[in-house]
Structures are given as C-alpha cells and as structure tokens.
Structure 1
Amino acid sequence: MKEAIRFTFIALIIVLIIISTVMWPIYGFSIIGVLIFAIGLNDLFQKKHAILRNFPVLGNMRFLLEMIAPELHQYFIESDTDGKPIDRNHRTYVYTRAKLGKETHPFGTELNVEAENYKWMQHSIYPSPILKEAPRQVVGGKECTQPYSASIFNISAMSFGALSKNAVMALNLGAKAGNFFHDTGEGGISDYHLKGGDLVYEVGTGYFGCRTEDGNFSPEEFKKKAAIPEVKMIEIKISQGAKPGHGGVLPAAKNNEEIAKIRGVKPHTAVISPPGHTAFSDAEGLLRFIQEMRELSGGKPIGFKLCIGSKDEFSEICKKMVETGIKPDFITVDGAEGGTGAAPIDFTNYVGMPWEKGLIFVVDTLNGYDLKKDIKVITATKIITAFDILKALCMGADICNSARGMMFALGCIQALRCDTNECPTGVTTNNPGLMRGLVVEDKRKRVKNYHEKTVAEFLELFAATGCKKLSDLNRSFIFKQVETDTKCYEDLYPTVQEGSLLENKSELIN
C-alpha cells in the first residue's frame, strides 16, 4: 500500500508540473494556488499528524523525504564500504559476477587495512596449480545409506512466501545448472522448488509440509516429502541467526491462498512458528528425532541448523552423541548477523552468538568430543565473496551457504522492504505487478554465473595459499587486525585437539 502511495504521489507531482507548464500562460498561479490551499486546509484540520497541523503544506515535505530516505541514503550518502547490512562493494561484487561483468578493481583497495577487525589471508610465494575442478564434500555418516556430494557453495534457506515464486524458480534452475544445492527454508516444498535442482528440505518448528492438523510433526507426511527425488538432505531448523529463540514470521500480507495451502495454514493470517519444537525437548530427544527422520527418509543425510546461544546446551548435545552413538550427518551454524525477511528488532540486534565465535565454538566442541570427523559443518552468515568461503573453511567449516548473496544475484537492491510485500525487484513479494520484473530465464543464469565465478575465484585464492587439498586449510592462514597488532586465527582461537573434552579418553569413537 505504501509503495502504491509513493508512486501515486510521484505521478501526481509529474502531472502537476505538466499542467502548470501548459496552463501557465493562461491561468498563471491560480491552479497551483488552489491546490496548495486545498492541501493546507486539509492539513490544518486533520488530527493524525501534529507536524501537518502546525505546519500545513510545508510539513508534507517531511513525509516525502522520509518516504524516499532509503534511496537517498543508499545512492547519495553511503560510501562503497559503509552500507548496512551489506555494503555497496559487496553488492557490486555479486552483480558483476552474476552479469559476467568486469571483475577487476583499479587503483588499490578501498579498505582501511589498519582498521580494527580488518582480515587478510596468508599467501605463499610458491602457489599451487589452480585446481581444474572445484572440490566437493560428501555428506553422510555411517548410518546414512544415501550420502550426498555437495558443492562448497550453495543457496541458503529462504522459504517460498518469503521469496516470490519467480525467485524460487530462478534459484532452483540456477542450482540445477551449476550443480549445487538449494535449501527450501522452513516454508515447505512448493512446485517452484521442483525444477530439477538438488534440494535440502528444511523442517522448522512449524513442520510446514509435514504437519498434522494441530501443527505437530507428521511422520507420514514427512516420509512423502523426503521421498521426493530432488530432496538430497533434510535439515532440522532449531534456530536461525536473525531471530534465534523466536519462530519464523510470514506477514499476513504475504500469506496468500497458495502459500497457505503448501504450509497447511489459514490464508491472509500472520504465520508465526513456535519458538521451539514439539517433537523433542532435550538433547537426546533431538538425536532420537534425527534417527527417526533418517529411517523415514530411507537413509538420506539428516542434520540440524542453529545459532549458538547457550554453550552448555550444545555441549550437552555432543555428550549425548557420544553416549548414544547417534550423530547428525551435518550441522549448519548460523550467526547473529544472519538475514531474514521479518524479525523483531531486539531479536535481530541482541540475541544469539555472532557468526565467527559461533562457528569456532561448534568446530572446537565437535573436535573436543572427537565428532568432527563424522559430521560435516555447514555455515551461513554473510557469505558473499570467495574470501568469505576461504575464511570459513580455514575456521573449520566444510561447506558454505549464501542467502543474501544469491538474492543480489536475483537482482535484489537492498531496498529493505522484504517484510512489506512491496519489494521493487520482485524478489520478496507475491504482488504480480512487482513480481513480473523478475524474469526467471534471465535471473537463473545470473544465479548460476555468480556461483560459478565465486567458486572459480575461491580456487585462485586456494592456489595462492600453496595448499594442495581442502584439509590443508587451517586457522593459521587467516589474520585479523586486533588493536595495533595483527594476529592469526590460530593464536586467537587455538585449535582444540580431537577427544580432549572426553572425560574418559577410552571413549574415543573409532
């Protein structure tokens, strides 16, 4: 609605300018004068806005400027490096790769290399040959009968409903063309996900697509969804970085009949998932649920996704893995900086462990309980560039996912209207008039291009380290500016030795 008002207001101004130009010689100021008088009279006697009552006509400028403030800030005020949440340089990085544009940058870095938290990688004067094919990671432990070979760079969880059907189709077709996976998000599997791309079926606290009428987990419905050939892995969403401890939110404006049918809810209502799962309530319950899902899916890889809050709770999960012998095939680590279409502001700003510390903690804890060798770690928070991938792998991750990077490849301009159903590029809206701007045939190529070019650049960075295989990467390759000194990640976060957290070293898992 606000978007319609905005365009109507702009159109009205244009019409007034045209009328004034044409009629000026005949009527002079009379037309403009009448219009200004009418606006002023309305402002003077309306009761909703104090600014307009006290400053008729002139006060409207405040609302006009407020309406276009995001555009003014993004295009005329912010620099290339200070935009939030993703700066212009990173957005341009995605756009140029998605469009196969110029990838070089002239005249040196724009970053302040002496600034706190500046990060850089160690290179070798004896670089390795660039790999001809990108390495892949096999996900699936001993109990998994259908392991999956995953790209190191994939599409992170974004639901149909949060994204438009055109966006979902373009992502899936891009994943198919580039041979990487597409995480469905917790909104269930729609027909738009089934265009041939590999899927990770995410099951959240609302159990969309596999729920009973009262909203609990339905083994029968899950078994049907897990049997879909495109579904290669299943991810239990415990929490996400943008709103950990809070269920997913689909605003009523975006919940149309089609989306409601897929999710099994009432249309045109706000869909707020429960904060926690009803299928389990403790660490052992989570592992038993993983075991049940693995059996129901016919042995496909099962994992869970979380943003770390309580360290003790994650440690308890690891202890139960050792006790029961039940392990997930993968764990996806999100950070508090994670993105979302809609979240309460305090959850976005102040809840959850930041990505870097969260990822390090998960990797170290798994190592400490001698579990890391059996469990792949996937990570997803502001993974945009090839360096982001290299840094994550050096910290201990095995696979990286990107949501906002893939959105930029679709044409997202960071208009920050994801929760209004008024996305101007058609990425996060089901408004047909706006969605038509996202042409699937064109944008699927851009998604594939972005993935391909980013992985290719990763291979160049990887060769520059002098490493021969992914397992050679470690924390000693990444450095961070800390106050007036530079420290490598191995010094900042010393690697925890395998099995060092086990109370009885004889418990080491073979």
Structure 2
Amino acid sequence: MPLFVLGVYDLFQRKHTILRNFPLVGHFRYMFEAISPEIQQYFIERHTDGTPISRNHRSIVYKRSKDKNSTHPFGTEGDLYSSKYVGLKHSMYPAPVPEEELRVTIGGPDCRKPYSASLLNISAMSFGSISSAAVLAMGKGAKKGGFYQNTGEGSLSDYHLEAGGDVVWQIGTAYFGCRTETGGFDKHAFRERATLDAVKMIELKLSQGAKPGEGGVLPAEKNNKEIARIRMVEPGTLVHSPRGHREFQDAVGMLDFLVMLRDLSGGKPVGIKLCIGRKDEFRKLCKTMIERNVTPDFITVDGAEGGTGAAPLEYSDSVGMPMEPGLRFVRETLREYGLRPKIKLIASGKIVTAFDAVSALAYGADLCNSARAFMLATGCIQALRCNTNRCPTGITTMDPKLTVGLVVEDKCERVANFHRNTLRAVRDMMASCGVSEPGELDESIFLRGKEWRHLGGSGVG
C-alpha cells in the first residue's frame, strides 16, 4: 500500500520528470546519484585514478601516517613515455642523506622575531570549515613534529591554542578575530592575539588558489555561538567575506598595512598569501617595495589547483594560475627586482608526496604548506562531502554526531608520522639527485617526457 501511494504521488507531482515517467523505479536514479562518489571510489577507481588526489597518492599518505611500509610493488603504473611525464635526474654519485630535519629561518631585515620553520607545514584551514577535533589533531601533531599550523581566515581559535603547537595566524578580508562591529580592522583585538607566544607569524590573505577573487560565506546555520565569538561576529547571521580588503586598495596601502601588523605583533614575521592572476599587479608591488624600502618576510604562492571546503566550480576550474608557473613567476620577478634574498617563498597547492615537495623547492620555494595531505593523515577518505556538513570522517563537519568518531590522540600521532616520514623521503630524493641542501635544487633537476625524442641526438642533458 505505501508503495502504491508513492507511485501515485510520483505520477502527479510536477518537479521531477523522471519520477512522472517512471514511478517508483525512478527513485533508484536519485539513490545511486547520492552514493555515486562511493561507487566510483570503491568499485571503479583504479590506483592511478581519483581526483583531486589519486588512490596511489592517498595510499602513500595513509601508510606514512600509520608508520607502515610505504613502498609500491612491481613497478610504476604510470606512462613514462607520455609527453606529460615529469621526473627527477638522479646522480651517479648520490649525496649523503642529511640526518637532521632541514629548517628555514623566516624573517627579513625589519623582522625582530625570526621564526625557524619546517620544510613542510599545515596549510590554511579554518575552524568552522574543519571541526574542533580536526584542529586539535593537526595542532597536536604539529607540536609533536615541530612544524606549524596555519589557522586559515577563520581566526585563531581556542583549539589552536589548546593544541600547543606553533601557529601562523591568517588575516583574511573579513578580519575575523580582529574586526570592528562594522567589519573593519581592530588594532587592539589584533595585538591581543598576535602577541601570544603560540603565534609565530602573521599571514595576510589576498587570494586563495581554489577561488581567487571570491569572498567566502559563513552560512547562518553554521555560525553558532562558539564560531561567532572566535570570529567576532553576531551568531546566527549570514556573514560574507569581502572579495578584497577594505583597509587598503593598492600596493602602497598593503605594504603600510603589513608594517602595522609587524609592529602590532611585536616584530614577528609577516607575509602575504596570493594566487597569481594579473602579472602586472605583482610587478607593481615589487616596484613599490623598492620605492618604500618595505618587504614582507614571506610570500605564500597558492596555486589554482589548491583545495577548499567549498567554491564555485567556475572558480576552481577556470580562475587563477597553477602553482608551478605562479611560483616560477614570483621567483623570477623577485630576482629581477633584487628582492629575492629578503623574502622567503612558501609553496601551497596540492603538495602530497615527497616528489611534490622536492618539485616545489626546485621551482623556487623555500618551504611548503599542505592542507589535503594532512587531512588524509587525519583520516580523510576523499568522500567529497566537504561542503555538506556530512563529512563521514568528522573532519569537515560541525555535526557532533560525526566529529565524535575522530579520536584526537590517535590522529595527532598520524599527523606527526606523516610529516616525519615525508620529510625523510624528501631528503632521500634529494640525496639520490646528488643534493644535500634544498637551496641546491633548481629546474635543471627535472626530466620531462617531451625530451625522450631527443635521445637519438644530443641526449637528455
């Protein structure tokens, strides 16, 4: 009887053509659509498939986070004769593998409190886009491993401080955590938090790779009392992050703002995060740095392939420059203007494996940030539910029924393990290429599939 009633309803409802034409049976279409990511991942996906991160690369993160053997059997599954192939030139005379972790000191001529950073760190993820349990697990893992956690633009939360690790406080266009009632920048609120010992650096976010030029949205239903208190907004209200900063509109204003942030923080390193779009704007910024004799201590270059909890598809697919060309452009432009020695470069954009990190260093980065790799280490299964508040692993959800499954003390160990084992693999790859220091890496280290056709002539270099 219930099925008969449902079938009659399907015949007369006007919203779904499939159900009008195929009563009852049409519901299977919607059921399979709802679980299509799981069907794809568990039954169809091959080892080299899976986007944005392949099954093979997810597997290596899981193994390293669990301190298991991360070797791969039987040989490569990739097409080494593809013109898209990129590899590394190894040396007949490998260098010794450095036993100590390699670190980078960040702090330009105007910085009074330089910071010694790891080569691999946790990229920007806001409390609210990820759960309190995820923030704690990553933060405690960062403390164990001696690397930093970027707060994302959602501000410095109680959980970042409770974790006890090093923190980079990101300031976005909405000035969460340091904003006035009208959405402007509040110097006093900023100083109060920026001078905390846990905060090691300040990052001014200009744009995010996954959605450059697009402001974020905090839905009213997600804006609970805790998040509202941390972000300094009214609970239960829809909050938009503006597309750009209201405190400045040009390079001069931005550099003056950075100087103020550095002074208010007590002289800590300050930098900017951006995805490259219009090259002329970055060149103008470099010219202004020289004219005013002001430089950021670091620049984080995000790629258009960078991750996000939620973004318009058109932005993720079609706006901004990928990390590799963006990083190369920033490196060369800074060199052209004589600014490279003063500014450290941080690569941020789909860095998952040791090869990704070595490549970023070769393209000019001094160190790397990664978000999705650390999410995988925390238990993410790439369920593609980040924007629904229904993340099955309790990472990108605020639903307590789901976050309760994430055991912080277990996952923080995995975060620290992944960091340690990946950096060990980075040192191994560098040594195989005859290199002992990251600064010795450059683009001459790459082999590219398009070079194979020259083997009969002058060789591969």
Task: Please give the range of the TM-score, normalised by the shorter of the 2 chains.
Answer: over 0.9
Deviation string 1:250-302 (CA, Å, 9 cap, x unpaired) is 33443222112211223334432000001111111111111111111110000
Instruction: Find the aligned partners of 1:447 and 1:402 in 2 and give their Cα distance.
Output: 12
Q: Name the residue aligned to 1:5.
A: none
Q: Name the residue aligned to 1:22.
A: none
Query: Pick from 35, 57, 74: which aligns with 1:90?
Result: 57
Answer yes or no: is 1:174 the counterpart of 2:130: no
Give me the TM-score of the superposition, normalised by structure 1.
0.87
Residue pairs, 1:290-369, within 5 angstroms = 290-369=258-337
Give me the TM-score of the superposition, normalised by structure 2.
0.96
Do the aligned partners of 2:97 and 2:436 also contact (CA within 8 Å) in 1?
Answer: no
Answer yes or no: is 1:42 the counterpart of 2:9: yes
Do the aligned partners of 1:355 and 1:381 also contact (CA within 8 Å) in 2?
Answer: yes
Residue pairs, 1:177-326, within 5 angstroms = 177-194=144-161, 195-326=163-294
Give the direction of change, closer, same or farther, for the CA distance of 1:317–1:63 in structure 2 (3 Å limit). same
Deviation string 1:332-358 (CA, Å, 9 cap, x unpaired) is 000111110011111111110111110
Query: Pick from 379, 391, 400: which aligns with 1:423?
Result: 391
Instruction: Find the aligned partners of 1:114 and 1:217 in 2 and give their Cα distance.
Output: 54
CA drift at 1:134: 1.4
SS at match of 1:254: coil
Instruction: Find the aligned partners of 1:443 and 1:239 in 2 and give their Cα distance.
Output: 30
Of structures 1 and 2, the one with the larger relative CO (CA 8 A, separation 6+) is 2
Q: Which has the larger radius of gyration?
A: 1
- Letter of the structure 1 residue corresponding to residue 124 of structure 2: A
Q: Say which is worse superposed, 348-357 or 199-208, in terms of deviation.
A: 348-357
Query: Pick from 31, 35, 38: which aligns with 1:64?
Result: 31
Instruction: Find the aligned partners of 2:59 and 2:78 in 1 and give their Cα distance.
Output: 15
- List alignment gaps of at least 5 residues for structure 2: 456-461
Instruction: Find the aligned partners of 1:59 and 1:363 in 2 and give their Cα distance.
Output: 55
Q: Name the residue aligned to 1:150.
A: 117
SS at match of 1:37: helix
Give the direction of change, closer, same or farther, for the CA distance of 1:155–1:54 in structure 2 (3 Å limit). same
Instruction: Find the aligned partners of 1:213 and 1:338 in 2 and give their Cα distance.
Output: 32
Instruction: Find the aligned partners of 1:475 and 1:250 in 2 and give their Cα distance.
Output: 41
Q: Name the residue aligned to 1:373.
A: 341
Give the direction of change, closer, same or farther, for the CA distance of 1:248–1:485 in structure 2 (3 Å limit). farther
Instruction: Find the aligned partners of 2:243 and 2:61 in 1 and give their Cα distance.
Output: 33
Instruction: Find the aligned partners of 1:452 and 1:91 in 2 and give their Cα distance.
Output: 17
Deviation string 1:151-205 (CA, Å, 9 cap, x unpaired) is 0000000000000000000010000000000000000011100121000000000
Instruction: Find the aligned partners of 1:466 and 1:69 in 2 and give their Cα distance.
Output: 46
Q: Name the residue aligned to 1:496.
A: none
Alpha carbon RMSD of aligned pairs, Å?
1.4
Between the two proteins, the alignment pairs up a number of residues equal to 454
Q: Name the residue aligned to 1:115.
A: 82
Do the aligned partners of 1:249 and 1:342 also contact (CA within 8 Å) in 2?
Answer: no
Do the aligned partners of 1:162 and 1:254 also contact (CA within 8 Å) in 2?
Answer: no
Instruction: Find the aligned partners of 1:423 and 1:322 in 2 and give their Cα distance.
Output: 47
Instruction: Find the aligned partners of 1:269 and 1:420 in 2 and give their Cα distance.
Output: 18
Q: Which runs of 4+ in 1 moved over 4 A?
A: 483-487
CA drift at 1:417: 1.1
Give the direction of change, closer, same or farther, for the CA distance of 1:41–1:336 in structure 2 (3 Å limit). same
SS at match of 1:150: strand
